[in-house]
Structures are given as C-alpha cells and as structure tokens.
Structure 1
Amino acid sequence: MNKLYEITKMLNSGDYYVKQYALDALRRFDSILPSCVSELKDFFAAEKDAALKCAVLKLFTQKKISGHFEFFAGNISNCEYILKNAFLDYIGETGETAAKDYLVNLFYAETDPKVRSKAVKTVALLKHFQTGFQLEKETVFDFLNDADARVRANACAVETDFNDVIARAEFKKLLSDSSPRVNADAAVLLYKAGDNDVLRYAVEKLEGASSTAGRSSMLYAIGRMHGADNYPIIKKYLSDPDHNVRRNAILSAGALKAKEAVTDLLDLYFCEMKQCRENLSVIIGALRSIDEFDSTMAALDMLNTSGEDNYRRATLVKIFAHFATADMAHYLVTYLDDTDDRVRANAIEAVCFLKERGAINSDFVVKNILVSMCDPNSRVVANAVRALYLCGVVSVISVLREMLLSNVDAVRDAARHAVTYFPDGLFVLNS
C-alpha cells in the first residue's frame, strides 16, 4: 500500500506529465483506499486542466467508486462538454440513484447537444437497471420531440409503458423522422414491444433507401429483429459498394446468429482484405457471435479445399486461429512446413495467437516452432523469434539483432516488423 500512497502524492507535483503518470498508474491498482479517494477529490477540485480532471472521473468510473455524485455535480457546472460527458459515464456506471433530477435538469438547461443527448442516454441506462427509477411521461415526450436527432435516437432506449396508447403513438411518429438513425432505433424499440409489423416497415425502408446512412441504419435495425427469415434480407448488402453498409450487414448477421452466414462472411473476408481492412475484425467478431465451432469447421473446410491458392491458404490459417481449440492446434502445425513462405509465416503468427488465447501452452509452441529458426525465409525466422521469446526463450533476440544489421533489405524489413511486437527499448533501430 506504500506504493499506492507514493503515487497518490505525485498528484501534488507541479509537472503535468508527473500528474498524468500518477493517474495512469492508479488505474492499474485493484482498489483505491478511502484516504486516496479523498486526495483524488481534493486534486479534482483544485486542478484546472480538463484532461487531468477527466482522468480522475474515468478512474472513479473504472473502479466503480460510488457515492460521490454530489461532489462531482458541484464541481463541473461550468466545465467543457468532454468533462460533463465523463461525469455522465460515471453516473451510468455507478448507478447513482440521486442523479435523476440532475439528468433531467441538465437536459433542459444544457445548450451543447452532445451533453444533452448523453444525458438522455444515461437516463435510459438508469431506468433499465433501476426498478424504482420513475420518469414523468411528459419528460419522455420532450426527449422524443427534441430538435436534435441524437437526443431523439437515445430517447428510443428509454423504457416506456406501451400499454399507454399516447406513448406508443409518440414512438410510432419517429418512424417518419427525418433521421435514419432515429427511424432504426424507434423500429427496434417497437419490435421489442411486440409490434411485429415494423419488420415489414424496416425492409421497405431498407430497399427504398438511397443514402448509405439509410441502408446502414435499417440493416442495424433488422439485425436486432430476430426473425428466422431476416438473414436473406441482409445478405445482398454484404456486397454493397459502401464499406459502412457492409459493416452494418456484417454486424446484423452476427446479431442474428445466422449460421447460414458463416461461409458468406468468410468469403467476404477476402474481399475486405483489399477493400476495407477495418471490416476484418468486425467479420471475426460476427463469426464468433454466430458460433465459434461452426466458424472453425467452415474455415478448416476452406483450408482443405484451397488447393494451390497460396494467398487464400495463408489468410485462412490466420482466420482459423481465432476460433480453433487446443485439440485443433495440430492442424496449424502442418502448415509450418508449407511450400509457401507466407503460409509458413502466418502459421507461426497463428500459433502465437493460440498461445495468447490460452488454447495452447509454451511447451507446445517451443516444440513446434524451434525448427522454423532454420527457415530460408527471413520473415518466417523473425516470426519464430517472436514466438519463442513470448514463451520465455529470451536468448533468441540475439538472432533478431543480427537480422537488423543485415545488408539484405528483406531480412532487415522482416526483423523491423517483428521488433514492433517486442517491449519498447529492447531494440535500438537506426533510421
């Protein structure tokens, strides 16, 4: 605990970076003592820098240090929006029961739409998790009829009594809203409230949408209406020209847990390698949501039928590692001896990823990767060095240091790439 006190005392420094370091270090402790909480509050009240004050709020939010709503509320009234939003995150995470009036008053008094919309989102969060959280009907209607689309969209998450005909009508009005996001959120809410007809509305809206925002929003909505026939509706949008539309189609396939989408998503992975690499992790996430076993077997089947297509084989090896279990690790080992350099290099990366996932242990890695240190390809060797180092074979970094001094560009490039995975300061790179 002495170290905790020492770091907390660093907040008294006049140096910005020392205070920043102290706040970052405090986040790594499992718990914060009450005396340190008191010092953090004193620091928050005295500090002028918004970023440091925001870091304090994030620390309280991360550690779920509750019971300090009144203190923070009294110290942020004249602050910029980023600090107010951090406070709203704190309220939502700690479930401060005394915050209802504050949130409603903030909605009416605040001029910044980003803060007002976040206040409504926080109201929805508290109402969902607190059974005693009551909200006047007129306040909800004010949310729904606000001039800002973000507020109206977030208002769709506020749980409401749909037995009230007037309340249901107010939400239905949002299906004709000018904002596609509001249309989508209202449709999802109404569907969950038992109005199955909104699925037909969403499909018609999707098929008639001329903008990418319109298509993206309706794909999002349909993905959250769990009908058996919904995947065929969104399937064709996996090949939409716009990457954001494709992303929402991918997310919807995952949300629907549509097993028939697994092969389609794996095929799309190869397209996104060239078109939008940001969508690759989205595809992996969707496959994981659908079914990890089915995704593993589909990737394995594609691997077994990839034939002489080296690029396809190299890519599938890495995809396979996202889902493979310990008893499937031997499939990856066979690709360590592949005739193609990329496949062998990717197979090592895949084995590393299995180790990071906890599917295999260090002994398995060392036993199967050690021979790759003799590979004729420099990238394979560099990847093998990284894999062995991760398993505690520290002496192999001398090989990487020698590769960094090589006169061969390809060898140096492979080593430089591998170095990026090592701790900072372990290697000195010459420009």
Structure 2
Amino acid sequence: MNKLYEVIKMLNSKDYYVKQYALDALRKFDSFLPSCVAELLDFFVRETDSSFKSAVLKLFTQKKLTGHFDFFAANVENCDYVVKIAFFDYIGETVETSAKEYLINTFYKENNPRIRSKIVKTVSCLLKSSESFHIEKETIFDFLNDADARVRANACSIKSDFGNIIIKAEYKKLLSDSSSRVVADAAIALYNSGDKSVAHYIEEKLGLASNDGEKSSLLYAMGKIKSETAYPVIQKYLRDASHDVRRNAIISAGALKLKESIADLLDLYFIEQKECRENLSKILGALKAIDEFDSTMAILDMLNGSAEDSFKRATLVKVLAHFASSDMAHYIVSYLDDTDERVRANAVEAICFLKEREAVGSDFVVKNLLVSMCDTNSRVVANSVRALYAAGVVSVISVLREMLLSNTESVRDAARHVVSYFPEGLVTING
C-alpha cells in the first residue's frame, strides 16, 4: 500500500507528465483504500485538464468503484463532452440505476449530438444489465424518432417489448430510414425479437445499395442476423473494391461461423497481402471466430499444396503462426530451410510470434534459430537477431549494430526494419 500512496501523491505535482504517469500507474493496482479514492475525487475537482478528468472516470469505471454517481454528476456540468462521455461510460459499466432521471433530463436539455447518442447507449446498457431499471415507452419513442441518426441507431439496441404492436411498428418504420446504420440496427432488433422476415428484406436492400456506406451497414446487419441464406450474399462482397465494404463482409463471414467460408477468407488474405493490407487482422479474427482448428487445418492443406508458389508459402507460414499450437511448431521450423529467402525470413518471424504467444519457449527459439544467423539473406539474419534477443540471447545485438554499419543498402534496410522491436536507444549507432 505504501507504493499506492506514493503514486497517489504524484497527482499533486504541477508537472503534466508526472500526473500522466501516476494515472497510468494506478490502473495496475487491484484495489484502492477509501483514502485513496478521496484523493482521486479531490484531484478530479481541482484538475482543469479534460484528459486527466476523463482518466479518473475511466479508472473508476475499470476498477468498478461504485457509489460516486452523485459526486460526478455534480462536477461534470461544466466539463467538455469528452469528460461527460467518460461519465456516461462509468454509469453504464457500474450499473448506476439511480441515474435514470439524470440521464433522461440531460438528454432532453443537451444539444451536443454525441452526448445525446451516448446517453441513449448508456440507457440501453442499463436496461440489459439490470432488471430493476425501466424506461417509459414514450421516452423510447422519442429516442427512435430523434432528428439525429446516431440517437435513432443507438435506440434500436434498447431492450423493448416487441409484443406491443405500437413499439414494433416504430421499429419497422425505421427499416425505411434515411440512415443505413439505423436501418441495419432496426433490422437486427426486429430479427432478434423473432421477426425473421427482415433477413430477406436486408438481403434485397443490400442488392440495391448504391454507396459503400450503405453496403457496409447492411453487411454488418447480415452478420448479426445470421440467416441461413446470408453467406452466399456476403461472399460476393469479399471482393468488393471498397476496403470498408470488404471489412464488414469479412467480419460478418466470421460471425456466421460457416466452415465453408474459411477457404474464401484465406484466398482474400493473399489478395489483401499484395494490395492495401488494411483488412489482414480482420481476416485472421474472422478465421479464429469460425473455428481455430479447422482454420489451422485449411492453412496446412494450402501450405502442402504451395510447392510451386513461394509467395503463397511465405504468406501462409506467417498466418500459421497465429493459430499453431506448440505441437505444430516443428512444422514452421521445417520452412527455415526453404529455398526461397522470403519463406525463410517469414518462418523466423513466425517462430518469434510463437514465442510472443507463449506457444514455444526460449529454448525452442535458440535451438532452432541460431543456425539462421548464418543465412545468406540479410532479412533472415535480422529477424533471427530479433527473435534470439527476445529469447534472452542479448549478445546478438552486436550483429544488428554491424548490419546497420554495412556498406550494402539491403543489409542496412533489413536491420532498420527490426530496430523498432528493440528498446529505444539500444542499437543507436554513434556517428
């Protein structure tokens, strides 16, 4: 606890960075004594910087420090929207059901659309988290008919009585909304209430969509609706010209969890790898969401059939590292002897990533990568230095320093590429 008090006292500093350090450090403590909570509340009142006020609220939210709704409500009135939004997060995450009147009153008097839409999202969160929290249907109607599309969209996630014909009619009306996001969220709400007909409606509407924003929103809805006919429709948009459209198609394909989409997603990975690369992480996430084991088997099958395609091998070796267990690590090791330098370099990176995932230990890295330090390709050597250093072989840093001083540009480039993975200043070359 002495350490906690030391950090708390740093909040009294006049130095911006000291206070920033203190607030970051406080997130690592598991619990706070009442006296420490009091110090944080005092800091919140006297601090004028919005980022620090927001940080305090985020800390209270993270640590679930409940019972301070009245205090914050009295002290955020004159704060900017960033602080207020952090306060609404606190209300929702700590399930402050006593905040109902405050939320509704603030919604009606507030002009900032970001704050108003956040209030609606907070109300939705409270309705899902607490059976004792209720809201009048007239208020829900006001949310659903608000002039701001963000408010209407967030209102669609509110837990409502769809057995009430009037309420259901309000949601159905939003299927013709001018905002595609509102249409998508209304469709999701109706589908989850048991109205399965909206699935076909969204599929048809997607076919008529004229802009990327509309396509993206409707694809998002299809991933949430998960109808039996959804994937053939989504599949077409995996090759759309817009990376935003492709992203939502990828996410929705993952949400459907259909094993037939694994091959399509892996094929798309190769295309994205050659082009913008913006959706690579989304594809990996979708593959994991579908089934990690089946995705791994599909990757291995593709690797076994890639003898004539070195680009494909190099790509798949790195992809495999995101899925492989310790039992499969030897398979990646076999590519350290590949005839193609890109494959070898990627195999080294893959082993490094396995170490980061804790799928293999330091001994495995050292045993298999020391020989790669003698590779004829500078990228393979540089990647090996990075992996071995991470495994505890600190002496290899001298090799990287020598590479940075090389007269050969490709050697220097390979070294520069991995420098960012080392502690700042460790491989600085004087002169």
Report the TM-score range of the alignment, normalised by the length of the smaller protein. Answer: over 0.9
CA distance in 1, matches of 2:276, 2:199: 29
Moved over 6 A (4+): none
Instruction: Tell me the amino acid that sits aligned with residue 263 of structure 2.
Output: T
Gaps of 5+ in 1: none
What is the one-letter code of the residue matched to 1:50?
S
Distance 2:282 2:429 in 1: 34
C-alpha deviations, 1:78-107, integer Å up to 9, x for none?
Answer: 111111111111112211121111111121
Pairwise CA distance, 1:425: 2.8
Listed as ranges, the matches of 1:55-66 within 5 Å are: 55-66=55-66
Q: Which residue of 2 aligns with 1:68?
A: 68
Give 1:399 shift: 1.6
| Alignment match, 1:227 | 227
Partner of 1:288: 288
Partner SS state of residue 224, structure 1:
helix
1:71-150 matches, within 5 Å, as 71-150=71-150
> Which residue identity does 2:384 align to in structure 1?
A
What pairs with 1:204-353 in structure 2 (closer than 5 Å)?
204-353=204-353
How far apart are the structure 1 equivalents of 2:275 and 2:36?
Answer: 50
CA–CA distance in 1 between the matches of 2:358 and 2:125? 34
SS in 2 for 1:161: coil
CA distance in 2, matches of 1:61, 1:88: 10
Give the number of equivalent residue pairs: 431
TM-score (norm 2): 0.98
The question of 1:10 aligning with 2:2 is answered: no
Tell me which moved more, 136-145 or 4-13.
Answer: 4-13
Structure 2 CA distance for aligned equivalents of residues 37 and 147 of structure 1 = 40
- Per the alignment, residue 389 of structure 1 pairs with 389
TM-superposition CA deviations, 1:318-372 (whole Å, max 9, x none): 1111111111111100001111111111101111111211211221111111111
Deviation (angstroms), 1:308: 2.4
What does the per-residue CA deviation read over 1:297-317, in whole Å, with 9 as the maximum and x for residues that have no partner?
Answer: 111111111122211111111
Instruction: Give the secondary-structure state (helix, strand or coil) at the position aligned to 1:74.
Output: helix
Q: Distance in 2 between matches of 1:100 and 1:319?
A: 48
Structure 2 distance, partners of 1:424, 1:35, is 38
The 1:429–1:256 alpha-carbon spacing in structure 2 relative to 1, beyond 3 Å, is farther
Q: Which amino acid aligns with 1:413?
A: D
Provide the C-alpha distance between the structure 2 equivalents of 1:213 and 1:399, rounded to a whole number of angstroms.
50
2:225 is paired with a residue of what secondary structure?
Answer: coil
Q: In structure 2, what is the Cα distance between the partners aligned to 1:345 and 1:67?
A: 55
Offset at 1:218?
1.0
**8 Å Cα contact 2:184-2:220 kept in structure 1:** yes
> How far apart, in 2, do the equivalents of 1:155 and 1:164 lie?
16
Residue 429 of structure 1, CA deviation = 4.9
Deviation at 1:34, TM superposition (A): 2.2
The aligned counterpart of 2:367 is: 367
- Structure 2 contact 379–411 (Cα < 8 Å) conserved: yes
**C-alpha distance in 1 between matches for 2:228 and 2:183:** 22
Which consecutive unaligned segments of at least 5 residues does structure 2 have?
none
SS of the aligned residue for 2:238 comes to helix
- Kept in 1, the 8 Å contact 2:397–2:427? The answer is no
* Inter-partner Cα distance in structure 1 for 2:208 and 2:430: 56
**Which AA in structure 2 matches 1:345?**
A
Alpha-carbon distance between aligned partners in 2 of 1:52 and 1:101, rounded to the nearest angstrom: 27
TM-score computed with the length of structure 1 as normaliser = 0.98
Distance 2:36 2:116 in 1: 32
The alignment-based identity, stated in percent, is 68
